[in-house]
Amino acid sequence: MISESLKDSSPSPFQSKAWLDNCGADCSLVFHSSKNKGDCAVARVSLKGIHTLITPPWALDCGFTGSIKTYCELNDFWLNQPEYLKVIDLPPCSDIEKSLSSFAIKNNTSSRFRIKWRHTRQLDLTKKLTSNRGKQVRRAAKEDINCSLVNNWNMVSSLHKESRLRKEINLNPQQLDKLLAAISQESYSFAVEAVNKNGQCIASGGFIMLDSNTCLYAFGGQIRGPQSAIASVAMLAKAMDIAIEKGANIFDFGGSEDPGVDRFYKEFGAKRVKKARLIYVVWWLKPIIRFIRPDLIA
């Protein structure tokens, strides 16, 4: 895979080449603006034969960092690429001054893009868990569920695949294995397993430190059973403790369009945070996209 850059060469916004070189994209484009100080990454892939510019596979967003001016510059960069279909996910909106708030996105996105609003859930790690979640963590301990940091990501991969198949989400298992094998070696990642008294892993998660402040729940799942709920809660609580040790004060659950999963995250006390998906479809391609990906058409 070839990585290309605009203007100056720059480190991957995914913090190493491990992600971009192993996510299955035909090519990655790393944008770096020396003028406005910011960067992001997108990928070129084929969607049923249609050349498409997207958020790097398996990633939840394009890793954008920078100012509103950088964002405007990026709009031009994305739209000048030759692909007829473009689907780019922005990071969660922020209320920090001069950053990408929902207001800034609405007022600075090219009219050639359609904005589809989604959301994630983020938890303030400086606050205690909700009383219900605290009780579940203690119950897990009483039932001899042990949560620990692990080096081997095999169960993360296995349970993530199982979760996607259960939700009927398209999956490339070989590519996932390759990606997780690569990022598991990086300093910004860690994995946690919840193991029952019989030594069986019943919940696992792979986590990414996006920066010094934010930890993302990126991969994982659970084995369905009577202990799966409390095992998942205990596993996530352990991950939060590790994230705090690494300096994080925000835990990002990654979001879910499944109402039940979203409610599960909400019950940790996690707040709803908007995310924007930018969609561009050339006019003559819309009838085809409406058939193969109706979620991308208004």
Q: Check residue 8 and give its pLDDT.
A: 36
Chain segment 21-40, per-residue pLDDT in tens: 899 888 777 776 656 555 78
Return d(Cα 162, Cα 156) in angstroms, integer. 10
Question: Where exactly are the structural domains of the chain?
Answer: 2-120+273-296, 127-248
Chain segment 207-232, per-residue pLDDT in tens: 999 888 999 999 999 999 999 999 99
CATH homologous superfamily for the domain 127-248: Gcn5-related N-acetyltransferase (GNAT) (3.40.630.30)
Indicate whether 110 pLDDT > 70.
Answer: yes
**Span of 6-15, 36-45, 269-278 with lowest mean pLDDT:** 6-15
The mean pLDDT of 189-211, rounded to a whole number, is: 96
Indicate whether 12 pLDDT > 50.
Answer: no
Contact at 8 Å (CB) between 108 and 98?
A: no
Kindly tell me the burial class for residue 241, based on how many C-beta atoms sit within 10 Å of its own C-beta (0-12, 13-18, 19 or more): middle
Q: Check residue 298 and give its pLDDT.
A: 73
Residue with tokens 């579940």: 136
Helix (H) or strand (E) holding 207: strand 201-209
Nearest Cα to 192, choosing from 151, 148, 159? 148
Q: Check residue 172 and give its pLDDT.
A: 87
The sheet carrying 271-281 orders its strands as 2-7, 27-33, 38-47, 50-54, 85-89, 271-281, 114-124, 250-252, 214-222, 201-209, 189-195, 146-150
Kindly tell me the burial class for residue 92, based on how many C-beta atoms sit within 10 Å of its own C-beta (0-12, 13-18, 19 or more): buried
Measured between alpha carbons, how far is residue 92 from residues 61, 120, 229 in Å?
Answer: 8, 7, 27
Q: Which of the two residues, 125 and 25, has the higher pLDDT score?
A: 125
Confidence at 122, pLDDT banded by 50, 70, 90: very high
The mean pLDDT of 37-50, rounded to a whole number, is: 84
Q: Check residue 163 and give its pLDDT.
A: 87
* 139-195-19-266 Cα dihedral, nearest 10 degrees: -20
Q: Which of the two residues, 171 and 15, has the higher pLDDT score?
A: 171
Chain segment 57-108, per-residue pLDDT in tens: 999 999 898 889 889 999 999 999 999 999 999 999 987 656 789 999 999 9
Return d(Cα 134, Cα 267) in angstroms, integer. 11
**Six-digit token pair at 178?**
């390759």
Chain segment 246-289, per-residue pLDDT in tens: 999 999 999 898 899 999 999 999 999 999 999 999 999 999 99
Q: Check residue 273 and give its pLDDT.
A: 96
Chain segment 146-158, per-residue pLDDT in tens: 999 999 999 999 9
Indicate whether 19 pLDDT > 70.
Answer: yes
Percent of the chain with pLDDT over 90: 73
Contact at 8 Å (CB) between 60 and 214?
A: no
Confidence at 7, pLDDT banded by 50, 70, 90: very low
Nearest Cα to 192, choosing from 125, 226, 136, 243? 243
Return d(Cα 79, Cα 170) in angstroms, integer. 27
Confidence at 170, pLDDT banded by 50, 70, 90: confident
Q: Where are the alpha helices (DSSP H) in 89-130?
A: 102-108
Return d(Cα 235, Cα 297) in angstroms, integer. 37
Contact at 8 Å (CB) between 92 and 273?
A: yes
**Six-digit token pair at 267?**
């019950």
